[in-house]
Amino acid sequence: MANKNGITYGLTVLCPIRNNMVQGHCGVDLLRDHLRALPQGRKSLFGSVPETHLARLSIMDDVFFEGTVAREDNLKSRYLWFNSNFDGDLCDYLDSMFDHIPQEIEAIWRHCTGFPGIESGREKWKQYIYKCQIKTTFFFAAINDMTVENMLRGLMLKQEFSAFVAEHQGKDAAEIQKEFLAFMETYKAAPTPARGSVTYQFENGEV
C-alpha cells in the first residue's frame, strides 16, 4: 500500500521555500545553514520524536538535466525535502512532532511558503504537511514489522552477542552455557539504548 509497509509509514514532503531576504540574508541560505548545524546521533532533532526510525531534511535547488533525450526542466522555486520513516499513522506522528519539537518546526518551516506558524496550532500544522505531502508509491522499509524500541534492542543484542562469541572461543561447553544464560539475563535487564545511538554499553544502554 502506498505510504505504508507493514507498521512503518514512509513520509515524503516537498515544501516550497520563500524567495525572500531576512535581515540582509537570503532566506534559503539561512535555512541551509540551520540544517547543516543540526546535531546528529543521540542529540539529533528527530531522536526527540520517539516514533522515528530515520528522518532527513535537505534543500532541493533544482532538478538535474540528464541529457538530450530528456526534456530540460527547472523548478519554479527551491524546496525543503522532508523524509521520515516512523511507526504508526501520519496524524499521530505529526502530533508527536508538534509536542516534542515545536521550536525546531518553527525554526525550519518558517522559511517555507504557506507555513502557518506553530502559534496557529497543531491542526494548521498538520493540514500544511498534508498539503505538501507526496505519495510514496513504492515504499521499501528494511524492517517493516518492528517498532523503534524493538530495533534498538535488537541492535544492542547483535552487538553484544558478537562480542560474547568472540570472547568465548575455545571455552568449555558447560562454561559457555552458564555464561550465556547470565548474558541473556543481563540483556533482559538492560535499558533500551537511547535513540540515535550507534554503539552501546550493555550495562547502561549508552554510547
pLDDT per residue over 111-130, tens digit each? Answer: 999 999 999 999 999 999 99
Residue 101 has pLDDT above 90, yes or no: yes
Q: Residues 65-72: what's their mean pLDDT?
A: 64
Cβ atoms of 13 and 83 closer than 8 Å: yes
Residue 49 has pLDDT above 80, yes or no: yes
Spatial distance between the Cα atoms of 18 and 16, rounded to a whole number of angstroms: 7
Query: What does each C-alpha distance from 73 to 14, 64, 116, 132, 190 come to in angstroms?
Result: 17, 8, 30, 21, 54
pLDDT of residue 68: 66
pLDDT of residue 34: 93
* Domains of the chain with bracketed CATH: 4-134 (3.30.70), 146-206 (no CATH)
Q: What is the pTM of this model?
A: 0.77
Task: Classify strands 79-87 and 8-16 as parallel, antiparallel or unpaired.
Answer: antiparallel
- If DSSP codes are grouped into helix, strand and coil, which group holds residue 94? helix
Residue 19, C-alpha cell as written in the block: 524567495
